[in-house]
Chain A
Amino acid sequence: MQLYDMPDARGHFGQYGGTFVAETLVEALEELRVMYEKYRHDPVFLAEYAYDLKHFVGRPSPIYHAKRLSDKIGGAQIYLKREDLNHTGAHKINNTIGQALLAKRMGKPRVIAETGAGQHGVATATIAARLGLECVVYMGSEDVKRQAPNVFRMKLLGATVVPVESGSKTLKDALNEAMRDWVTNVHNTFYIIGTVAGPHPYPMMVRDFQAIIGIEAKQQMMEMVGRQPEAVVACVGGGSNAMGIFYPYIDVPNVRLIGVEAAGLGMETGKHAAPLTANSAVGVLHGNRTYLMQDADGNIIETHSISAGLDYPGVGPEHAWLKDIKRAEYVAVTDDEAMAAFHNLCRTEGIIPALESSHGLAYAEKLAKTMSKDKIILVNLSGRGDKDINTVAKLANISL
């Protein structure tokens, strides 16, 4: 039995979450909440979702024992949940399939999405093409520049990519713009949010669609080693891959859940994207209450991370809750530490990880050193790094 039972009926995780939206969006969210409640346990809907996860995405994604990496570090054994092997190259597709199937059932022919690194945009464009839905993706113009290959992929898949020029021109601004589109076109449009943030029911719904990661991992760990790991580690921007792998483990005692945020240039510089680690003030943004990077006037401040997917000033409300109740721990690693872990995995295991996932790897390496060789750390390798090769090359002054 699942003892942990969150959120409440109106989407609250303690003081976090909720539905902080303009009146114009209330009706649309209520319609979504009702439809999701109707289908979340519907066997036909779930069968369709499971079919696509297996035959379209290629699930279950394997767990891989990174032996050479573990040996090199000389501590705990590192296992990787290979979400990078999913169709489209990251965990994002698990959620977009769920929401797109819901859009179909709600009779919405058009889907929209926000994207940072572009992985969620690609995953949305992919399922939209597969289901014959019109797709518009909002992306900060800064991100359009640093993630050019994903922009082209979305276009190949038939999506319209709209560069967002307002604010800091990154993920949070793309989310604002997508919300504006939704409030204007709600009669025919389904907004596919890519992370466990936004107004209720999004944080819960995205978590539920991503929980397949943790559900599989629990079973696979039993099959591989006959027990669960000492720690589960995942990177946290908005926090969808982390919630996906954490959620099924919340009620499992003695499994540490560790979320790794982006410390950017270093926590002490203020140029980071780690509201939980920094103990930022609690506030309201994008429809939910959570820890937020903000100034004294309550304006959102610009974040910094080498990884576009972690470059977000807030965090999903359930992570805020898990931090407060001390069920999960949150730490941060710098751009440099993430880069080192990126190269390490490339060279020792033949896997090119996403820069986002490299944050999780970097912390796992640190943690492994403090643990004995019979202990196990499971890292959610949330995506592959093909999309990041331009960023990495630029850092090395190489032009591709």
Chain B
Amino acid sequence: MTASTLLLDAVYFALLIALGVPLGRYVARVFAGEARVAQRILGPLERVLYRLSGVRPDEEMGWKRYALSLLAFNLLGLLAVYALERLQGLLPLNPTGMGAVPSPVAFNTAVSFATNTNWQSYGGETTMSHLTQMLALTVQNFVSAATGIALVAALARGFVRKSAETIGNFWVDLTRSTLYVLLPLSLVLAVFLVSQGVVQTFNGSVTVATLDPAAPGAPGVGHQTLALGPVASQLAIKQLGTNGGGFYNVNSAHPFENPTAWSNFLELFAILIIPAALCFTWGALVKHKRLGWVLIGVMAGILIPLVLVASSAEQAGNPALRPMGVDDAASVAQSGGNMEGKEVRFGIGSSALWAAATTAASNGSVNSMHDSYMPLGGMAPLWLMQLGEVVFGGVGSGLYGLLMFAIIAVFLAGLMVGRTPEFLGKKLEAFEMKMAALVVLLPSMAVLIGTAIGSLVPQGTGTVLNPGAHGFSEILYAFSSTSNNNGSAFAGLGVTNVFYSAALGLCMLFGRYWVIVPVLAVAGALARKNLVPATAGTLPSDTPLFALLLAGTVLLVGALTFVPALALGPIVEHLQLHP
């Protein structure tokens, strides 16, 4: 690992926490209705929206109604995306004349964007019209992220309220998350990205002469078609909302989507800033400020070592190349290490950090190709997803996922100190355990079973491009990514056939809604309970000991569930390369 990589990582995490704290506190104020300045500016718009949609903002919902509103809204979004994709040929803002998206891909994409996964089995610039990109995909980028933040607010109410039947109003939470948090941040980021050269236009494409003149007789060469479109506006929310679905097929490795070192750092920063900030939001909402630090500590404490694993594995290079006399040492002239699938502009440090951050958060955007990573370098992102997307995780979803792990950790710890477990003053009983277990269980099940089917049926194995253990990793990665709503692709696997479109689509649905509903059920059940006063016999949840316990639970569950699968994928591949 080089000094520049370490410096980049250090600056990155320091800034993340430095800006995460104020942003997190701000989000908490938004939900408490105490963000005065923002409310003065955006309040009138918020009220107009409520009036137009007939929402009564002070109306409270029980958890079931909250869940139904959320599901109905998401289903509607899913149908809208599907319809726009299928009908885009007939609709305006289609300068390059794209036809209807094939139905398996359209279904897969609709699910993918509604669930905040942004798994892409299509190339954006060659499949989607501008209208689809803007009205279908970008809109879902906003509302799927807002859905996650809304859930955090609802769950917090479950912990804070005492003997209450309701957990807030979904429409209000959704509107506030979008209006006060996601829109302003996206606006600022988009403008900045445009300043760096990210394209933003309604034009379709331009054809330019290449620098290299055409070889005689070779048709078409000498000219190049450059796809253009409203990229910056989609890019900002794609990064901030842990969506990750790029405008271009190669995502943020594309020079128009990520032109400079500045744009790269900011896009990278945008991946984790909201998940990081929400830790502090949580601390403020449940009135245990130190808990915010514990949560971010757990997340960073798991992520940073894995960033280092990825960086050092990549920097170490490929031992198979060395006997051929390849110089893979880092120097002023080159990054060294394993540069296959990476942009020379970004090098190893930036690429490995992005790979780890994008899979830790359920973002899934990429600036390098994970399939080309060394086995252990690729295992870090793979395992980060398998941990259940709770290390930062999706906007909102990472935090509530981690809190479900906390329920399990607290349960065990409570038993070990001889008390019926309680978390933040709420007793944890069979119902909460059942729901938390579902949240932890279902995405893992989807990964394991999906991968098993994928590695048995011919439609699954037929599109695997690499032999042996690496091919297995490709299948495992696809199911890990979709079941945990990450959306990044390992590549090396053809996923546009009916089997993968359907199977991965289903995994995305399971991974999202079979988690959301139990989380809301927990919120509802907790809201109904009385608060237990803390005594010396209560296990405090805002201490390093608790952080250790929580991190241990996440890691142990992740390891015990996936070690056998990982052993047959990246681990054995690594051992084969390093006998």
Q: Do these two chains interact? A: no
